Structure 1
């Protein structure tokens, strides 16, 4: 007895569409419902010229359709469409809700983050958004049937559709070439907000960046590095603590004129506070390696950074014992050739409930300082003010400003609650740095100094932007203006021949992460041709003090 195959029970009830119609529908859906920020930028830029705005939008839709039609082919069509829908749902949430641009640098930052950091961005609001805007339309795409044709007919249709889509993109853009070309040149935030084309472009650029860096040969930096005369003559070990701050924006530091008293402790200490400092980037993955690099922001790139030894390598070559201690997302390759450790509850269980706050550094730092026998550099990579869960960055008994935002979904909080929570992180960093200074000053075994600078700043809702990572060309100053602090014990100033008052004369002048490499080499009296006098903020001070 033969048994004939029966059709799928629901095949007759599932609607059937052509591949072309499905691609058109998905392109319309993406453009209409996943591009809220794009539409806002578009009508702002073309204010009063609605028809021109719609023509430009039509060109972007045609480009989106062209990308879909080019890659969503035959058996790959549904997987590609589902992937695009999910990507757009994820990235549109961060773009529309937080103002976060998903470009190459942001993808790099995401790829190098930790679970502890990223979990705060996976909120109920995010999951609901992805469900409604990504999962449900993906389910519709998977549900419908596609009317297939033969391979040669499909190839002819694919060629014709792509040719017509290309012609449509070009034709629409050239219908008003003068205005559209100007917008594309000068209003880069418009294209940066197109979902999912912008993040896909960023991902492609990130992969290309990784491929270009595979065969990089490390070039030595400062091969002539050695102790200068003051360092060589020091009668005790020099201990330099470099605090790599996280997400500290200068706009919220009272030392720089902020109206709230967020730096009461540092204000009582004899420090130099540099009030006009620009960061190298707006996200840790770029700023952190850049500020330890011998390269300036104009020279720095991921590939160039990997191809050069950095500040810590040079200091190790000059005879310093160098260690990296981390309470954040890792050293981003800066300490690849040096000892590095993550802080855990073993270093202070009372400071790690549920996540370690920066006081976890203090006991180990005190114990280490008490046993040092050679010149030493210790880098403390803070968790600092990392958002969006600002309230987890300080203990409850140090909540100075109230009420505070107690959820990572900052959009649900008032502006006052967000600012209060963030300002508490700055006040806690102020307390932490003061503790480091007092501990070092009280340790007679060493000749101590501390250098602090934040990697980048933070947006707290100004102009609808939250967090950080905005492309530098369009980043607000809240993300690029960072605090920098220098403290040297009196015995450090005397032993190294470097009066702190001289540096204070320069603290109001413009500076940047470009100055970090040479300034630290200068203040440590490391002699090397890698140090640039023009970038060393201490240059000339030692001669004056000698």
Structure 2
């Protein structure tokens, strides 16, 4: 006989109504998974604690509204678990690394590779997700829900939804003028609410991707042809465009950084642009933007896809164009190239892949290409460059110039000095790599060579509590938007294409940006086309008039 004093395991499980469970989860997520939100809130409303608390009540009402609408009946526990895991994941990046999870960051995450993303899956990350997401999810699955009839359940959902809206609006209207002003001027406030902000960003990303399926590509530069100097060149032109990765201008000694990070390039006859800015703060935006005919003010994901880009125009002008990649792909830039974009592998240089390849993996293939080409050619080298957080993997151990260097992707476990040392080693390695590219090209008698380097975006190394990159442009620090840009032209390139390097160098201190790249490359190569904007072509004022 069963002892009536011993309750069954099921009876010992707490039983909650659907509303109470939703309210508890909403309260937990706002209170525990939103350290950054609370920091922004009390900074913005400094000295106005009651006003801040009323606003946080409105945010709680919004959280409850979203939870109540989505977590209904049989979907309740799966939805709550999904939201809790999402909050656990995103709160790590937001609260620990200072990352903002907006639409562009979702896009960046969706287009990354395992090789890149695995460095973000650290013990600290897994521990954080377990504590903040998995444990509360287990509790949600453990409790029993007191089910009502379908009619009463739907009525309850409608009532909670209406009360949540009423509470949200009512609290905001207690001081609508102040709250509307704050929301207009401090977009980071709601942008830091987990998991609502990333959920909204994911919806905006899905909408953007759906719209992109309807895009028809508009031809660009179909009239492109060799100009008079290019047409008369007696050897094939070879331009190498190095699309840099995560290089910030503040750490380039060519631009005044106290530490010597450009020991090699300063010995070469280059033009360095110390005041260049990027189109975005993440590769998914900046890379297609810099090859696009659109300026940063005009660029959008859909706009970039709907226009042919620099590589298409060069193809129209008769160039062979290739994309070689040591990063996360070409972001659709090379979709129409005759030669499929090439991913660099250990077969291209096993000594430079351990197992991830560093940028020297390009060099042998580049030498082979320079020795064999017979037509005007442009090759894009997409670097791994200074991509974090595993900076120490971006250069060989023997080129670790600055010590001690952070040797873990857990950046918060390293001192500021160790992080900067590791990052500066990547900059010094990029300096060495670009010098090797220049020397190889210059030594080839078969071609008339030039190189154009610019990084896609910069990087935060802990300044202001921010790490890595991808902060929305309107609030991004200069560390993420100021990028190094370098032009190198062999003497025979200058002579053949009638370019005055002294003229270019004289104007190099002026502000420039990714907006200049499309027209400047066409201008340097003497490609005649209506697609080239002369006002953005840095080479235009420095070319001799054809006789």
Please indicate the TM-score interval, normalised by the length of the shorter structure: over 0.9
* Superposition map of 1:195-344 within 5 A: 195-338=194-337, 339=339, 340-344=341-345
Name the structure 1 match of 2:349: 348
Deviation at 1:472, TM superposition (A): 0.5
2:72 maps to 1:69: no
Name the structure 1 match of 2:536: 535
Distance 1:44 1:540 in 2: 49
Residue pair 2:228, 2:546 contacting (<8 A) in 1 also: no
Distance 1:174 1:430 in 2: 57
Deviation at 1:545, TM superposition (A): 8.9
Name the structure 2 match of 1:3: none
| Residues 344-379 of structure 1: per-residue CA shift (max 9 Å, x gap) | 000000000121000000001001100010000000
Distance 2:132 2:541 in 1: 60
2:414 maps to 1:413: yes
| Residues 227-268 of structure 1: per-residue CA shift (max 9 Å, x gap) | 000000000000000000000000100001111000010001
Structure 1 residues 216 and 325, CA gap change in structure 2 (3 angstroms): same
Q: Tell me, what secondary structure is at the counterpart of 2:10?
A: coil
* TM-score for the superposition, normalised by structure 2: 0.98
Name the structure 2 match of 1:400: 401
* Superposition map of 1:31-180 within 5 A: 31-180=30-179
Deviation at 1:458, TM superposition (A): 0.1
Which runs of structure 1 show a deviation greater than 2 angstroms over 4 or more consecutive aligned residues?
543-546
Which runs of 5 or more residues in structure 1 are unaligned?
1-7
Deviation at 1:505, TM superposition (A): 1.4
| Residues 160-189 of structure 1: per-residue CA shift (max 9 Å, x gap) | 110010011111111111111011000011
Residue pair 2:229, 2:546 contacting (<8 A) in 1 also: no
* TM-score for the superposition, normalised by structure 1: 0.98
2:368 maps to 1:373: no
Name the structure 2 match of 1:495: 496
Q: Tell me, what secondary structure is at the counterpart of 1:543?
A: coil
Name the structure 2 match of 1:513: 514
Distance 2:255 2:64 in 1: 50
Distance 1:10 1:207 in 2: 43
Deviation at 1:544, TM superposition (A): 6.3
Q: Tell me, what secondary structure is at the counterpart of 2:407?
A: coil
Distance 2:90 2:544 in 1: 54
Name the structure 1 match of 2:4: none
* Superposition map of 1:477-496 within 5 A: 477-496=478-497
Residue pair 1:498, 1:545 contacting (<8 A) in 2 also: no
Deviation at 1:533, TM superposition (A): 0.5
| Residues 34-71 of structure 1: per-residue CA shift (max 9 Å, x gap) | 00000111111111111111111111111011100111
Aligned residues: 539
Name the structure 2 match of 1:11: 10
Residue pair 1:280, 1:287 contacting (<8 A) in 2 also: yes
Distance 1:277 1:32 in 2: 41
Distance 2:544 2:20 in 1: 76
Deviation at 1:337, TM superposition (A): 1.2
| Residues 183-230 of structure 1: per-residue CA shift (max 9 Å, x gap) | 100001111111001000100000000011111001100010000000
2:26 maps to 1:27: yes
Q: CA RMSD in A?
A: 1.0
Distance 1:194 1:233 in 2: 61
Residue pair 1:499, 1:545 contacting (<8 A) in 2 also: no
Name the structure 2 match of 1:429: 430
Name the structure 2 match of 1:4: none
Distance 1:265 1:499 in 2: 23
Distance 1:535 1:381 in 2: 23
Q: Tell me, what secondary structure is at the counterpart of 2:535?
A: coil
